[in-house]
Amino acid sequence: MRRAVVERTEKNHIGFGKIILFGEHFVVHGAEALVAGIDEYTSCRLELTKGQPGICVVDGRPAVPGYIMEKAEEQRLAHRLVFRHLNIDTSVDGVRIHLGGPLVPTSGIGASASDVVSLSRALSEMYGLDLTEDEVN
């Protein structure tokens, strides 16, 4: 398992949102689509919680009322998948994730993807992974 090389990230890592202009079911059905990136993004910074296991999320994004709570379990699963994929164990020293940025989490704006992209970039810094853009995306 990987060990953190810093106790907190210095950078504010971001992942941009998107809109689907045509072909909204392309992810499910593999059909063609026209997608555009947008200026809004999710930002992520991390703190190591030495001796406190697990993952804690402090979600400071501007949100549609109830949306973050409604999607909390999906977010936990997505975050766990990223940690597992990157071979990061939080059973001894945990991680506090601080999310922010101007992207308002709603359906269809790429909020989940921007969340895990910004998290992946931040984990790359904290754990010295040197992930490329291709590896992040």
Instruction: Report how far residue 129's alpha carbon sits from residue 114's, in angstroms, rounded to the nearest whole number.
Output: 19
pLDDT greater than 80 at residue 129: yes
50-85: per-residue pLDDT in tens? 999 999 999 999 988 898 899 999 999 999 999 999
pLDDT at residue 90 in the model: 97
Segment holding 125, helix H or strand E = helix 111-126
Instruction: Report how far residue 4's alpha carbon sits from residue 48's, in angstroms, rounded to the nearest whole number.
Output: 8
pLDDT greater than 70 at residue 22: yes
Strand residues in the chain grouped as ranges (E): 13-22, 34-49, 55-59, 94-100
- Torsion on CA atoms 126, 132, 28, 105, rounded to nearest 10: 40
Domain boundaries, the chain: 13-136
23-55: per-residue pLDDT in tens? 776 667 777 888 899 999 999 999 999 999 999
86-125: per-residue pLDDT in tens? 999 999 999 999 999 999 998 889 999 999 999 999 999 9
pLDDT greater than 70 at residue 137: yes
pLDDT at residue 32 in the model: 84
Q: CA distances (Å), 120 to each of 24, 29, 105, in order?
A: 25, 26, 18
Q: CA distances (Å), 63 to each of 13, 66, 67, 80, in order?
A: 19, 8, 7, 22
Let me know: does 13 contact 122? Beta carbons within 8 Å.
yes
> What CATH class has 13-136?
alpha beta
Which amino acid is residue 78, in one-letter code? A
